[in-house]
Structure 1
Amino acid sequence: MLQLLRQGHELLPADVNCSGRAARGACFSVRNSIKTTAISFALHLLFFLLGIVLPGVLFLASYRRRAGGRTLHWTQRMKTHLYYGNGLLLWGLAGLVIGVWWLSGRPLTDIGLGWGAAPYDLAAVLVLAGFVLVYLFDILREAGSAEQREATRQEFARLGFMPATATQFLNFTFLAVAAGVGEEIVYRGFMVTYLREVLGTSPAAVVASLVLPALAFGLGHFYQGGRAVLKIVVMAILFGFFFLRTQTLWPLMLLHTAIDVFGGLTSWYLQAGEDQRAV
């Protein structure tokens, strides 16, 4: 695929004569056409794999596990492997997106790896600020009573892989940073931009460009339960709106990472002393 992207001229038939000014011009057009087709196919394939196949596989795996009532006894070693394994996978997916986008000759600023147009759009800033306020209110509500804290602790315990000790939390931060950066690049930077280019700029197309990646993102988190998926989809739509209006991912990466780190910190605090499993 990389050869296809970088060296479209090698796909010319062997009997094509590119000598002479007119022939060279024709060959240049053929090469550009081949290269454009290859790039378009690569981006379509990337969206199909990351936006349809991967969320579908994650959803089915989570659904079967929940439907079967199966639970895992998560040891510290298993948690550590999960944190670093999934973290490396997320970094790899983000690198794949960046690599394919760069090989296509497109600027990385198109997928949000720039500072955007300052000052940022007021509506986008207000939406993001509103999300933060609602998120903080939800935290206070869940921690407002002993009963709510116990319910939250039990939910973390049900998930099994969330950190319950200082060591686990420190290892978990690797995954939190990878998710904060990698998922924003894949689900906001790449998918929203890709769909805007494919679907166009009509109001319906804009809505689809925000909703479809958010649904894919939510399905990939089905292991957290239906209520959590709903929250995640709403968050993804709001994050997508911010990206669409500002063309930058950096604030989203920072906020996403902070949310995940705080979730790990909360799990550690609530489960402290509950996890005495062997390494």
Structure 2
Amino acid sequence: MMNPGMVLYDMTLIDHIVAMLVCVVAPVLALTSRQMAMEDIRLEPEEKIRLYHSNALLLFVFTLVVITVWRLPGRSVIALGFDWPVLSPVVLLLTLAVVLFYALDYFFQYGIPKWRAKTMQQRHASLTFVPTNTKELLHFVFLALAAGIGEEIIFRGYLIHYIVYWTGNAWTGILVACFFSSALFAFLHGYQGYKSVIKIFFLAMLFAAIFVLSQSLVLVMIIHTLIDVLSGWLGIYILKNFQQQDEAENETEV
């Protein structure tokens, strides 16, 4: 079997510390956030915008830390994913698979009125954290950009290389690294519900495959950012539908 082409780098003490923050500390914090998400919390618009900004800045700062740690021993940023992608037929098919998956996912959630009503009912509890108007969406785009860039660098570019240090850079070792990094990434999104966790894991595996085979993070950064922006726009769409339903019910009661 041909060599996948991923370089096996030695890891330093500071790499192990960063990996512990990502693999141990972050999941613990995620459990706390999940409990908060389950509570009936209502944020004022300005509080929500501050939340977007603080989370985005935190992501950007930690991403810069990861890049700095990666570069300290003289490792190339190209290996981290900062290069134009190798657009092989397999990479293009995987990219198409991501697009089709999301298109089908949105269709089965919103394509038919019955499904749309069920989806909106399920997502109503999470509206506290998603934008509900154009002003909030503009600030949410900043967070989407931070997530699209930062999370791909951390979980694909950096973490896969770190795990490959332990598993080896044969195909089996890379598959284990992709699986573990994707599982961790999905777990950290547990506040969205178990169904979303399964979907996120599947997509994270596709992202990991695109990164490994294209030797670049460019495609996954773009796709990830667009997906998050679309999710934010859907928050506005869902809220408008709930407001219309509430108005209709109030008129009926009158």
The corresponding residue for 1:236 is 204
1:105 equivalent to 2:74? Answer: yes
2:59 to 90, 98, 105: 90
Deviation of residue 62 (structure 1)? Answer: 4.0
Q: For 1:150-229, list aligned pairs within 5 A.
A: 150-159=117-126, 160-229=128-197
State the number of aligned residues.
234
Q: CA offsets per residue over residues 168-214 of structure 1, 9 Å max, x none?
A: 11111111111111100000010112212332023431221101111
Report 1:115-126 matches (<5 A).
115-116=84-85, 118=86, 120-126=87-93
Deviates more, 1:202-211 or 1:181-190: 202-211
| Pairwise CA distance, 1:91 | 0.7
CA distance in 2, matches of 1:208, 1:72: 38
- Amino acid of the residue matched to residue 32 of structure 2? A
What is the match of residue 5 of structure 1? none
Q: Any runs of at least 4 consecutive aligned residues in structure 1 with deviations exceeding 4 A, and if so which? A: none
User: Which amino acid is 2:61 matched to?
Assistant: G
Would the aligned equivalents of 1:210 and 1:237 in 2 still touch at CA under 8 Å? yes
The one of 39, 61, 72 equivalent to 2:32 is 61
Question: Contact (CA 8 Å) 1:52, 1:216: kept in 2 or not?
Answer: no
Q: What SS is found at the alignment partner of 1:74?
A: coil
In 2, are the aligned partners of 1:124 and 1:246 still within 8 Å (CA)? yes
Q: Is the 8 A contact 1:84 1:174 kept in 2?
A: yes
The one of the two structures with greater contact order (alpha-carbon pairs below 8 A, sep at least 6) is 2
Q: Is the 8 A contact 1:112 1:249 kept in 2?
A: yes
Kept in 2, the 8 Å contact 1:180–1:256? The answer is yes
Cα distance between partner residues in 2 of 1:242 and 1:93: 23
Instruction: Tell me which amino acid in the other structure corresponds to 2:123.
Output: F
Q: 1:103 Cα shift?
A: 1.4
Greater shift, 164-173 or 121-130, is seen at 121-130
Q: CA deviation at 1:225?
A: 0.4
Query: Among residues 225, 236, 247, which one is paired with 1:268 in the alignment?
Result: 236
Alignment of 1:11-160 (within 5 A): 40-58=12-30, 60-65=31-36, 70-116=39-85, 118=86, 120-159=87-126, 160=128
Over the aligned positions, Cα root-mean-square deviation in angstroms equals 2.0
Partners in 1 of 2:165 and 2:187 — Cα distance? 23
TM-score by length of 1: 0.78
SS at match of 1:201: coil
Identical aligned residues as a percent: 30
Q: Give 1:75's aligned amino acid.
A: E
Query: Which structure 1 segments of 5+ residues have no match?
Result: 1-35
Using the TM superposition, give the Cα deviation of residue 273 of structure 1 relative to its aligned residue in structure 2, in angstroms: 7.7
The Cα shift of 1:151 comes to 2.7
The residue type equivalent to 2:93 in the other structure is L
Normalised TM-score (structure 2): 0.86
SS of the residue aligned with 1:272?
helix
